[in-house]
Chain A
C-alpha cells in the first residue's frame, strides 16, 4: 500500500534517448514535486504542481517536461538524455504546500545515462 510510488526504480538508457518516469500518490495530497539528487547527494527541486497547475518551475533544461494528468499523478518526461542527467529523481507529495507535515517521498528512480 505504497503512499508515493515511482516507476521504474532503475533506468539505464543511452544518450539521446527519451524516457519517462511515472509517479502516483494515494494520499489525497494536493501538491506533487520532482526533486533531483546528484552524485554528491544534493537534493534540488525541479518542479511542483498543485491540483494539476504548475507552481514551481526551477531552472532546468527544457528537455525536462512534467505532466500532471490529475492531482494524484505527476510524470517526468526527459528528451534527448545527456550524461549529466544521471541522478536519482524523487517524486514527493504534500497536503497543501507541505508547511505543516512536510513531504512524503517516493523511493526514487536511479537514472543512468550511458
Chain B
C-alpha cells in the first residue's frame, strides 16, 4: 500500500519570501506520478504541479517547483516569491493502486496549512 506523509501540519511565510513544504511517500512501484494540490478557503482543489517518477528533471510551474528525490522517496514543494493568494491547504498526492487488480487512484497526504502574511 502507498502512504503519503506530510510532516508539517502548519507553516507560515512572509510575503515575497520562499517556503518549502515537505512530502515523503512509500511505494514499491518503479514508475508512478506525484502531484501537489492546493485547497484555498474557497474549498476548490487546484492542481499546482505534477512529476513523473521516471523523469530526473524537477518540474516547475512559474513560482512553484519541486525537489524530487526518488531514492529518498521525497517530493517537496518550493513556493518562491510567496503571495497572499498562496494561503491555502497544500496536499501532496501519489498516484498508485492497491494491487494489480485495482484501479489507479490519488492517495493524499494529510496536508500542510500554509499562511502567507503581509
CA distance A42 to B54 in the complex (A): 28
Question: Contacts A40-B110, A43-B91, A99-B95: A48 and B103 contacting too (C-beta < 8 A)?
Answer: yes
Residues in B37-76 with C-beta less than 8 Å from chain A = 37, 39, 42-45, 47, 50
CA distance A110 to B44 in the complex (A): 12
A55 → B minimal CB distance (Å): 4
Residues in A58-104 with C-beta less than 8 Å from chain B = 88, 90, 92, 97-104
Q: Is A13 an interface residue (CB 8 A)?
A: no
- Chain A window 13-26, contacts with chain B (Cβ cutoff 8 Å), 1 for yes, 0 for no: 00000000000000
A36 → B minimal CB distance (Å): 11
Most buried by A among B33, B50, B103: B103
The number of chain A residues touching the other chain, given as a range, is 20 to 34
Q: Is A56 an interface residue (CB 8 A)?
A: yes
CA distance A99 to B105 in the complex (A): 9
Question: Contacts A40-B110, A42-B110, A99-B33: A56 and B103 contacting too (C-beta < 8 A)?
Answer: yes
B113 → A minimal CB distance (Å): 8
B50, A50: Cβ atoms closer than 8 Å? no
Q: Is A7 an interface residue (CB 8 A)?
A: no
A105, B44: Cβ atoms closer than 8 Å? yes
A42, B45: Cβ atoms closer than 8 Å? no
Q: Which residues of A contact B102 (CB under 8 A)?
A: 55-56
Q: Which of A40, A50, A100, A108 contacts B103 (CB 8 A)?
A: A50
Q: Is A107 an interface residue (CB 8 A)?
A: yes
Q: Which of A41, A56, A98, A102 contacts B111 (CB 8 A)?
A: A41
Question: Contacts A40-B110, A41-B89: A97 and B43 contacting too (C-beta < 8 A)?
Answer: no
CA distance A55 to B105 in the complex (A): 10
Residues in B10-60 with C-beta less than 8 Å from chain A = 33, 35, 37, 39, 42-45, 47, 50
Q: Is B106 an interface residue (CB 8 A)?
A: yes
A48, B105: Cβ atoms closer than 8 Å? yes
B106, A88: Cβ atoms closer than 8 Å? no
Q: Return the 5 tightest CB-CB contacts between A and B, nearest first.
A: A55-B103, A105-B45, A97-B104, A43-B108, A56-B103
